[in-house]
Structure 1
Amino acid sequence: MRIGELAEAVGVTTRAVRHYHHLGLLPEPERRANGYRDYTLRHAVVLARIRRLTELGLGLAEVRDVLADDAGKDLVEVLTELDEDLARQESAIRERRARLRTLLDAEALPAEGPVSPELAALFARTAPLSDSPMAVKDREVLALIETAAPPEERERLMAVVGAALESPESVARANEAYALLDELVDVDPGDPRVEAAARRLAECTPRELLPEGAAIDHDSSFLRALYADFAPAQAEAIRRALRILTDARTDGATDGTTDGTTDEEGAR
């Protein structure tokens, strides 16, 4: 058989046959005097087995292990591992579909979506905050953190934020902080309103959001990108609020107090 006849007989492409030759999965036959490869029934049997294994989901490296005489794994072991991997994928797909169903069943999807059902519920509960440009950015950052954080840390952060915005009073305080920050768009970073906004932001920000026992690196790539997304005075207010929170946490750990403020010199 020629390569085209072999490929047609097994139901693959000639390109696939050449690729299997290149990877060493399918031995190359001897060539006739006219230069054409002469494929035998044995080549068709091996090629058909390669097709069956790949259709089961095996990668070509795993197919090589199965076909090799000195393979460290037999076919049963390889197929067992494949079955376990498919079971994990099946579980992940079920979880994703459940999340999609929760989002689709919601009355309205948030502009930042898709997000987790937990964060979508938080956004729905604090919907009045979306009137503030600063609130919109804050929601975008929350969606970013939820996406990028490891699962355990994401769960912890969402629980902290949810608890912090549970009452109408806490929502009102957050609204006030957003309003103060919105006013800083065209303000000089040295304006006294920057300090007022920083203190109010620190008051309504749970200390648990900060990494436990670790100093905040304001020159980190993430924080530099965060500050750059705001007007200079807004970025300065956020920077000061973080310093107030870290100073308060340090003071609280030292003397047992929970006061969330510090003097202006320390905030700077």
Structure 2
Amino acid sequence: MRIGEIARLAGVSTRAVRHYHHIGLLPEPPRLGNGYREYALRDAILLVRVRRLTELGLSLDEVRDVLADDAGRELVEVLEELDDDLARQEAGVRARRERLAELLEQAREGRLPAEGPVSPELAALFADMARVSAGRAGPEPRMAALDRELLALMDSSFAGEEGRRMVAAMQGAVASPEAMERAYDLYARLDELDGAGADDPRVGPVASLLVELLPDEVAERVAEAGPGTWSAGGGFEGAFLTEFSPAQAEVVRRALRLAAERAGRAPDADPAGDADRAPDADRAPGAGRGGRTEEGR
């Protein structure tokens, strides 16, 4: 048999046969005087075995190990590993389908948050927020929408049990209608500070209200983050405080400091910055609204 014939017999391409020769998986017969290679029945049987093993999902290296073991012991081990791997994939697919079923139900009932797929716990919290917002006069505060985005970010950043605890803590903080109303009062007061300077007299009371609404577990998590969280250009500030006006950013910095103090882990540096700092130091030269520079937009 020539290469085209053995390839058709085994159900593979001639390119596959040549590749198996190249990697040493299939012995390459010598050329005859007419320039062709002649394959024997044993070559066809070996090629069919290779094809069947690869169809099971074995890699070519695993196929080589199996073929090298005449007693077939290697095949049992490789197939067991493959079966374990498929079982893990099956469990993963099942979990994804269960999550997909939840999202489909939320989407069909109009309960899927605008922020996109989130945990069921956070989706329930967003639904409560939507009900409170709908019952209030006027448009929803901008800070309420931003807070949902931040909660969705937290939901994605903290995986597993920690994420569920953090979301549960936030839910517990606004579990009652009165607490949710206070949260929306906070959002409205933060909106009122849009465009205000860091020395605005409303900053202190709003920061205190924010800390009152902050769950203990979240305050503890803030305290554990360390001084870099509050320092200029630190992770927390760098992430989103540049989106705020100087007054709004100052509210968050003061609230972070107060939360850390409440948790018994005051940061090394004053989050409000040096006492001599100019009131509008947050608004750097060339900065736009909320202290955003041209480079930071």
Q: TM-score range by the shorter chain?
A: 0.7 to 0.9
Whether 2:224 is the aligned partner of 1:214: answer yes
Compared CA separation, residues 103 and 9, structure 1 to 2 (3 A): same
Identity across matched positions, percent = 55
Compared CA separation, residues 195 and 83, structure 1 to 2 (3 A): same
The structure number with the bigger radius of gyration is 2
Who is 2:248 aligned against? 234
Structure showing the higher helix proportion among its residues: 1
Compared CA separation, residues 231 and 3, structure 1 to 2 (3 A): farther
Contact 1:244 1:266 in 2 (8 A): no
Alignment partners' CA distance in 1, 2:225 and 2:3: 66
Alignment partners' CA distance in 2, 1:143 and 1:151: 14
Alignment partners' CA distance in 2, 1:33 and 1:187: 92
Who is 2:194 aligned against? 185
Instruction: Determine helix, strand or coil for the equivalent of 1:250.
Output: coil
Structure 2 residue runs of 5 or longer lacking an equivalent are 135-139, 274-297
The two structures have a TM-score, normalised by structure 2, of 0.72
Contact 1:99 1:116 in 2 (8 A): no
Contact 2:223 2:260 in 1 (8 A): no
Contact 1:30 1:37 in 2 (8 A): yes
Structure 1 residue runs of 5 or longer lacking an equivalent are 253-264
Q: 1:199 aligns with which of 196, 205, 208?
A: 208
Whether 2:206 is the aligned partner of 1:225: answer no
Q: Deviations over 1:70-121 (max 9, x none)?
A: 99x7211221122122122212222221222122223221111212222212
Alignment partners' CA distance in 2, 1:34 and 1:102: 67
Aligned length: 256
Q: How many Å apart are 1:54 and its aligned residue?
A: 2.7
Q: Say which is worse superposed, 105-114 or 20-29, in terms of deviation.
A: 20-29
Alignment partners' CA distance in 2, 1:24 and 1:235: 66
Who is 1:258 aligned against? none
Compared CA separation, residues 59 and 123, structure 1 to 2 (3 A): farther
Who is 1:115 aligned against? 118
Alignment partners' CA distance in 1, 2:83 and 2:190: 54
Q: How many Å apart are 1:231 and its aligned residue?
A: 4.0
Who is 1:262 aligned against? none
> Counterparts of 1:142-161 in structure 2 under 5 Å?
142-161=151-170
Alignment partners' CA distance in 2, 1:95 and 1:19: 38
Contact 2:207 2:251 in 1 (8 A): yes
Q: Deviations over 1:126-185 (max 9, x none)?
A: 214592322222222222222232312112212212212211122112112211222233
Q: 2:128 aligns with which of 119, 122, 125?
A: 125
Alignment partners' CA distance in 1, 2:76 and 2:34: 42
Q: Deviations over 1:228-268 (max 9, x none)?
A: 3444443332222211100111179xxxxxxxxxxxx7865
Aligned CA RMSD, in angstroms, stands at 3.2
Who is 1:170 aligned against? 179
